[in-house]
A and B are shown apart, each in its own frame.
Chain A
Amino acid sequence: MPEPSRSDDGGAAESVDEGTAESVDGRTTESGGELATDGGSVSGVDGRVSGLTTYLRERPRLRTLAIAGPPYGLLVVFFAIPLLAMLVVSFQADQIGGAWTLRNYTDFLTSDTYLTVVWRTFLISVQVTAIVAAVGYALAYSIVRFSRRTTLLLLLVILPFWTSYIIRMYAWINILQSDGVLDSVLNLVGLPALSLLYTDTAVLIGFTYVWLPLAVLPFYASLTNLDGDLIEASKDLGAGPIRTFLSVTLPMTVNGVVTGVVLVFIPTFGSFITPRLLGGTNNVMIGMVIENQFKSAFNWPFGAAIGMVISVVVVALLLLATRLGGGLFGTGGEES
C-alpha cells in the first residue's frame, strides 16, 4: 500500500487521506474511488470529502463556482431581481400593472418640490457624515493610540446596536425634550435650557449617535494597521502634530475613512424615522417621501421611480468615493 502523499497546500485534505488509510486494524479497501475502512460512516464521509476536494482542485472554474455561486445566487435572488422588479414598476402608471410611462420620472425630475427635498436630504447627509467622520475618527484614534482597553471600548461603541433603532430615538426624545434630561442637567448647573427637540440640531444629534459605530469600526481597523514608526519618523524629521496627521496619518488611513463615510452617508440619505421623530416642521427627507408613496399615497410606481433615481445618485456617489479612496474596503493606506 503506497503511503499517502502530503503537500503543503493541501494539509487538511491530505491529513484526512492519511487518517483514512491508517485504519485501526490496518485494513483498507478502495471501491469506486471511495475509501471504506473500519471507520464506518465517518471514514466514508471523510473519503468522499477528500474525493470531492481533489475533484474540485483539478477543476478551478468549478471550484470558483462552488464557492462564489451561493452568495452570488443570494444576491441575484434577493437583491438583483427585486431591484429589477422595482425598475419595471417604476415605468408603470399609477399602479402595478398599469400602462407603460415615463411620467413617474418626469414628474419627479421636473418638480421643484421633490428636487428641493433631495437637495435638503443631501445637505443633511453631508452634515451628518462630516460630524460622524470627525467624532468617529477622534474616537477611533484615541482608542488605538491612547487606550489599553480597546476591546472594552469597541464593545461600548457597538453596544447601542443591541437596542432597537426606534427605542433609541425615543430615548433621545426624553433627553432632548423641554424639561427633559438635558435641560434638567443644564438647569442644575445654572445654565439655561436648550429645548433641542424638534430642531435641526436634534436630527443631527440623533443621526450622529446612530451611525457613529458604523464609522468608528472601519476607522479603527485602518488606524490599527498604521505603522507607528511612520509617525515617529515624521516627528523626527521636524513635522508637528498637525502636519504629521495631515501628511502621514490621514493619507495612510484614507481607505478606512472613505469606507466609514460611505457607510454613514448612504443610510442617512434614505432615513425617514429620525427626522420624523426628532425633527421639526422643516425636516423632510426623501426617504419620508418614498415611504409616503407606499404607505399612504398608494402610488407605488412613483415611489419606485424615486427609489431608482435615489439609488442611481447614491451609487454614483459610491463610485466617486471609491475612486477618491483608491479602494473602498481596504483598511490600510499602503495603496494610496
Chain B
Amino acid sequence: MRKVTDGSPSLKRRRFLQGAATTGVAAAAGCLGGDGGSDRVPMDVTEWPPEDLESNLNMWNWYDSWAEYAIDAFGEEFDVEVTNSGYSSADQWYSQLQAGNDEIDNIAATTNWVERSIENDFLHELPVDVMPAWENISDRIKEASSYQQDGSVYGIPEALVLYPLTYNDEYFDSAPDSWGVLWDEEHEGDLCMWDNATVSCQIAALYTGQDPIQPDDYDEIEEVLIQQKPLLQTYWGDYQQGMSLFVNEDVVAGPLTMGRTYTARFQEGAPVHYTAPQEGAMYTSDLFVIPQGAPNPIASLQFTNWASETENAAQLFETMGYQPAVDISDELSEEDAEFTNWPDEWDLVFSETLSDEVRSRYDEIWTAVKAA
C-alpha cells in the first residue's frame, strides 16, 4: 500500500527547479565566456621553468603521429594529461576562437591564420626571452615568419612547410630543374596539380618569371594554367589523395608537400623525391600558438618550449617528414639528413600573406581555369 506523502511532489519540484536554475546559470556562464581555467597568462612567467603547471593540456595539432608521441612524452615528463584534436582545416579551430575559446590550449597553426588571429586579438603574447628553446629556432625562419606585431611575439615556429616539385625518381634520371616539367607534353597524362588557388597560381607565377606574392600579369598566369590542363591527370584536393597519385605511380611529377613526399618514399616505398626548381619554390611555417581563453596557458607554454627542444623537434621529422623549425641535423640518420637538406642554391620564397586583391585574383583565375 502506498502512503500519502503530502509535500513530496512539491519538494521534488523545488529540487528540480533548483537544479534547473543552477544548470541554467552554469550554461549561461559558459555562453558568456567563463574561462573555467587558470587566471594566469603566459606573460606572467618571468623565470624558467614556470611553476605550478596546470594538470591538463588540450592541443590542436594536425601532425597526428607527432602529437601521439608528444602526448606520452610530455605527459610523463611533466605529469600533465594531454589530449589532441587532429584537424584537417584551419577554419575548424579559427571558428572556435571567433566564438570565444574556452577549450583549446595550444594550436599548431599556419602562418597566415596566425596573422589573422593576431589581428583579431585571439592569441596570447609569449615570453620568448625567458623560454630556453627559443634559441633553437633557426634564424631564417625567425626572420621570415610573420608572427610578431609591435615587438610582441605570438607564436613559436614548429615546422617549415615547403611546397616543392615532387617527382618520380625512377622516371626522371635527375631532379627536374624547372617547373616547366609540368607543362612538358612529353609527360601528358602523367602530371598533376594541387587544387589550391594560391599554390597553383604561385607555381604558374614562378614558371612565368613573376613575383608570386605580387604578380604583374594575371592574364599570363591564367593562360599558362589553361594551357596546362590537357596535360594533367587531375587536380588533387586532399593530401592523402595527392600522395596516392605518386604512390600508385599514376603521375610522375606535381606539387606535393615535403611531409607527404617523405611518407610516400620511406613508409610506402614509392620512388619519389622532391626538389625546388630553379625558378624558386614557396615555403611557409606552422607555429605553436596559445589562444586567448586557453584554460591551461602555463602548461601550454611549457609544452611550446618542450616541443622546440631539438630531440622533440626531431621527432616531428621522423614521424611525419616535415622539417622542424630547429636545426635537427645532429639527430638524424644519414638518409634522413640527406632528405632534409635544402641546398643553399635553392631559391626559397617565404609565402607571405597575400593582399586581399592578389588572393581574390588568384581565386578568380583558379575558378576560371577549372571552368575552362
- Measuring CB to CB, which residues of chain A are less than 8 angstroms from any residue of chain B? 24-25, 27, 36-41, 44-45, 94, 113-114, 116-117, 120, 170, 173, 177-179, 198, 276-277, 279-282, 284, 288-289, 292-299
Contact = CB atoms under 8 A, between A and B. Distances in A.
B371 A41 contact: no
A299 B197 CA distance: 13
A289 B248 CA distance: 29
Instruction: Give 9 nearest A-B pairs by CB, closest first.
Output: A284-B370, A297-B363, A276-B237, A198-B234, A44-B9, A40-B5, A113-B368, A41-B9, A38-B2
B237 A277 contact: yes
Interface in B1-28: 1-6, 8-9, 12
A276 B248 contact: no
A234 to B, nearest CB: 48
B323 interface: no
Contact of B234 (A37, A39, A280): A280
B4 A40 contact: yes
A292 B363 contact: yes
Nearest to A48: B9
Given A117-B371, A297-B359, A297-B363, A173 B234 contact: no
Give the interface centre of A198, A294, A296 by most chain B CB atoms within 10 Å: A296
Nearest to B90: A295
Contact of A299 (B1, B233, B235, B363): B363
Contacts of B366: 292
Given A24-B1, A40-B5, A296 B196 contact: yes
B interface secondary structure, majority: helix
A102 B359 CA distance: 20
Contacts of B234: 198, 279-281
A173 B245 CA distance: 11
16 contacts: A25-B1, A40-B4, A40-B8, A41-B9, A113-B364, A113-B371, A114-B367, A177-B248, A177-B250, A178-B250, A198-B233, A276-B195, A279-B234, A281-B234, A281-B235, A298-B356
A36 B4 contact: yes
Contacts of A284: 367, 370-371
A173 B1 contact: no
A206 to B, nearest CB: 13
A44 B12 CA distance: 12
B211 interface: no
Nearest to B370: A284
Given A296-B196, A297-B360, 5 more contacts: A37-B4, A40-B8, A295-B91, A299-B356, A299-B360
Contact of A116 (B240, B363, B371): B371
Interface in B214-241: 229, 232-235, 237-238, 240-241
A39 B2 contact: yes
Contacts of A39: 2
B89 interface: yes
A171 to B, nearest CB: 13
A294 B91 contact: yes
Nearest to A38: B2
B56 interface: no
A277 B241 contact: yes
Contacts of B319: none
A25 B366 CA distance: 82
Contacts of A120: 371
B4 A297 contact: no
B198 interface: yes
Contacts of B368: 113
Given A116-B371, A177-B250, A294-B91, A36 B6 contact: yes
A308 to B, nearest CB: 18
A117 B368 CA distance: 9
Contacts of A295: 89, 91
B124 to A, nearest CB: 23
A38 B367 contact: no
A262 to B, nearest CB: 26
Given A117-B371, A284-B371, A296 B198 contact: yes
Contacts of A116: 371
B363 A296 contact: yes
